[in-house]
Amino acid sequence: MTISEILRETVLTALTSLEVALPDPSRIQVTKAADLRFGDFQCNIAMVLAKSLGKNPRDFATELAGALDVKDLCEVSIAGPGFLNFTLKAAAWADLARAQWNSENLSVLPVESPRRIVVDFSAPNVAKPMHVGHIRSTIIGECLSRVARKVGHHVIKDNHLGDWGTQFGMVTWAWKAGVDEKRLEEEPLQELLRLYRTASDASKEDETVREECRAELVKLQQGDAENLAIWTRCVELSRKGLDDIYERLDVTFDHWLGESDYNEALAPLVDRLISEGHARESDGAIGIFSSGSVKPKGDPFKVNRDGEWQDFPMLVKKKDGGFNYATTDIATVEFRVNEWQADELWYVVDFRQGGHFKQLFDVSKRLGYEQSQFVHVSFGTILGKDGKPLKTRAGDLPQLEDVLDDAVKAAQRVVDAKSRLEGDEEKKALAELIGVSSVKFTELSHHRMSDYVFDLDKMVALEGDTAPYLLYSYVRARSIFRKLEGELVLSGENLILEEKAEVHLVRMLSRYSDQIHQVLDDYRPNLLATYLLELARAFHSFFEACPVLKAEGETRESRLILCDLTSKVLKDGLALLAIPVPERM
Ligand code: ARG
């Protein structure tokens, strides 16, 4: 039983002893106190029942408090209009800490009903390198997948590569105009980017080039052997480059079903959409229109142009016979629900695609997939120090790899200045770890909907709400065990908490499970990131207030256990953020 369950039982017993009949016992709720200054748990049942009993809520709360048998567990006080506040005693906290220390998964509770969740994230466009905008999707998606798996959901991570879109017409066109085979071998992503830019620049200036690019795409989609061969090589080369980046980020996928994998399904899908009355012709193209079931303002199939509501269909087939991004996404929903039995589909994609996903989710429901839950896990923009979307000096979106390299360089400066490590190789490895972790932590510590400023020096600093601060906290918690060198067997039999700082640390540790679950309430990794920072601060306060190695007997053992437990929770929590820990820094 959890503490709140025990307290609930106690309240129920007390009510019975006062002969208060309770029509519905589920109305007794003991929740964690929102503000730790007012105790650890609270219950509002006195206020709920007072009126029907004809009593003053505060008086009734006092009466109830007198009947509660919780002496060993906590102190009870009355607050506000009649809240019962429970403040756990040190011994009760010690029991919790011991249980958490002995628990293999650090007392993280599993969900009651696990769901099958498909997480669609990263999904870069092949033949263009991943840019800084893909950082957010990749890192948030990986974190949410890990958290969902941690609490027992069945998670399927799918990289829905953009490997079939208009960019291939362009790359193929430029490839035929002159591909640099040597560079393709050495720096495939860079060469593919060059081809893409060549075609993109040329088609901006010249309508015939634009036509030729489009024609190359149509040829590819119709199965032309030469274009297909070029495409296959592009995908393979990109895949290699992507694998390197994902390895560096420690990001993995269960599937790589890209847009091209749904190609065969598109024509029959559109036929079915038409014959079942979901889609119809519009200016030579085929689109899905409003169902008319909601007001125009909330209807994703309407736009307001010059004060007038007009149709804004979801296009599923172009005039030239090609299919759209949306068509592939509908086919993908069908596959994920029918083949993978997805209960939930999460799309970790930039907020700019919000309109597309509203339409997609609406269409999916119309097609009968209303059992599944669809979520657009949206996010904002990364800004430069000037407050505008992050750009390189040349005005392009920075490439993810360059961003990581810059972060590692900044981390190297900090490591050179502050690290106690001796060897250059060790320092280099640490700088890589800190640099990449800093990029991740900065991402995950911000609310996903807010834009944030990408400030390298700030994010690799040892002080502040940063990854290095957390990594250092972990190293500090472990360092004490190195000094002991083997003489240590912790029994955990007698855990005692004497100092305030110890109790506070244990309180923070005990919140771990809740914090993880809360991340999933609104898909917010920043709740876990913030929690870990608070935990680290609680640890440092404890460490400064309470001598560990110089303490004796049970006190010493208890404090060693707190160090050990803190390091385990930090390591585990950081792993959910996809951040590995070093043993020394
Ligand atoms: N490839 C797209 C882009 O880079 C993202 C795809 C997101 N997933 C999806 N199922 N539409 O913008």
Nearest CA to ligand 1 atom 11: 329
Q: How many angstroms separate the CA atoms of 565 and 96, rounded?
A: 12
Q: Which CATH architecture has domain 400-576?
A: Orthogonal Bundle (1.10)
Query: Do the Cβ atoms of 433 and 250 come closer than 8 Å?
Result: no
Residue 347 Cβ contacting ligand 1 at under 6 Å: yes
Nearest CA to ligand 1 atom 3: 124
Report phi then psi at 399, rounded to 5: -80, 145
Q: How many angstroms separate the CA atoms of 313 and 309, rounded?
A: 12
Please name every residue paired with 285 in a beta bridge, in sequence order, or none if there are none. 282
Q: How many residues does the chain have?
A: 585
CA of 161 to the centre of ligand 1 (A): 7
Amino acid at the residue 394 = A
CA of 123 to the centre of ligand 1 (A): 5
Closest atom of ligand 1 to 165 CA is 1
CA of 258 to the centre of ligand 1 (A): 10
Nearest CA to ligand 1 atom 1: 162
Closest atom of ligand 1 to 349 CA is 7
CA of 377 to the centre of ligand 1 (A): 12
Residue 120 Cβ contacting ligand 1 at under 6 Å: yes
CA of 124 to the centre of ligand 1 (A): 7
Residue 160 Cβ contacting ligand 1 at under 6 Å: yes
Closest atom of ligand 1 to 332 CA is 10
Provide the 3-class DSSP secondary structure of residue 208: helix
Residue 387, phi-psi category: left (phi > 0), alpha (psi -120 to 50), beta (remainder): left
Residue 162 Cβ contacting ligand 1 at under 6 Å: yes
CA of 358 to the centre of ligand 1 (A): 14
Residue 125 Cβ contacting ligand 1 at under 6 Å: yes
Residue 158 Cβ contacting ligand 1 at under 6 Å: no
Q: How many angstroms separate the CA atoms of 353 and 45, rounded?
A: 45
Secondary element (H or E) of residue 192: helix 188-205
CA of 408 to the centre of ligand 1 (A): 28
Query: Do the Cβ atoms of 192 and 179 come closer than 8 Å?
Result: no
Q: Give the pLDDT of residue 32.
A: 87
Provide the 3-class DSSP secondary structure of residue 127: coil
State in words which class domain 3-88 has: alpha beta
Query: Do the Cβ atoms of 195 and 238 come closer than 8 Å?
Result: no
Closest atom of ligand 1 to 325 CA is 11
Mutate to test the pocket of ligand 1, among 121, 126, 160 (most ligand atoms within 8 A of CB): 160
State in words which class domain 116-162+259-379 has: alpha beta
Residue 329 Cβ contacting ligand 1 at under 6 Å: yes
Rg (CA), the chain: 29
Residue 333 Cβ contacting ligand 1 at under 6 Å: no
CA of 160 to the centre of ligand 1 (A): 7
Question: What does pLDDT average to in each consecutive run of 10 residues of the chain (585 residues)?
Answer: 88 92 84 84 93 92 93 91 93 94 95 97 83 86 98 98 87 94 88 91 92 90 91 90 92 96 95 96 95 92 94 93 93 98 97 96 96 96 88 79 93 94 94 97 95 91 95 96 78 88 96 96 97 98 96 93 97 98 94
Closest atom of ligand 1 to 347 CA is 8
CA of 409 to the centre of ligand 1 (A): 30
CA of 424 to the centre of ligand 1 (A): 41
Residue 123 Cβ contacting ligand 1 at under 6 Å: yes
Q: At what angle do helices 553-576 and 467-484 cross, to 10 degrees?
A: 140
Q: Report how far Cα 224 is from the mean position of its chain's Cα atoms.
A: 41
Nearest CA to ligand 1 atom 5: 123
Secondary element (H or E) of residue 106: none
Query: How far apart, in Å, do the first and last CA atoms of the chain sit?
Result: 40
Sign of CA pseudo-dihedral 99, 102, 533, 543: positive
Closest atom of ligand 1 to 357 CA is 11
Residue 317 Cβ contacting ligand 1 at under 6 Å: no
CA of 189 to the centre of ligand 1 (A): 19
All structural domains of the chain with their residue ranges: 3-88, 116-162+259-379, 167-249, 400-576
- C-alpha angle 471-407-420 in degrees, rounded to nearest 5: 45
Q: How many angstroms separate the CA atoms of 65 and 47, rounded?
A: 13
Q: Give the pLDDT of residue 487.
A: 66
Q: Report how far Cα 252 is from the mean position of its chain's Cα atoms.
A: 14
Closest atom of ligand 1 to 161 CA is 1
Mutate to test the pocket of ligand 1, among 323, 353, 358, 375 (most ligand atoms within 8 A of CB): 353
Shortest CA distance to 157 belongs to which of 115, 114, 116, 120? 120
Sign of CA pseudo-dihedral 182, 187, 192, 196: negative
Mutate to test the pocket of ligand 1, among 164, 260, 314, 349 (most ligand atoms within 8 A of CB): 349
Closest atom of ligand 1 to 162 CA is 1
Q: Is 441 exposed, middle or buried (0-12, 13-18, 19+ CB in 10 A)?
A: buried
Closest atom of ligand 1 to 133 CA is 4
CA of 375 to the centre of ligand 1 (A): 14
Q: Give the pLDDT of residue 129.
A: 64
Q: Could you list the beta-strand ranges (E) of 340-449.
A: 344-348, 373-377, 382-383
Residue 261 Cβ contacting ligand 1 at under 6 Å: no
Query: Do the Cβ atoms of 100 and 79 come closer than 8 Å?
Result: no
Q: How many angstroms separate the CA atoms of 550 and 560, rounded?
A: 11
CA of 262 to the centre of ligand 1 (A): 14
CA of 449 to the centre of ligand 1 (A): 18
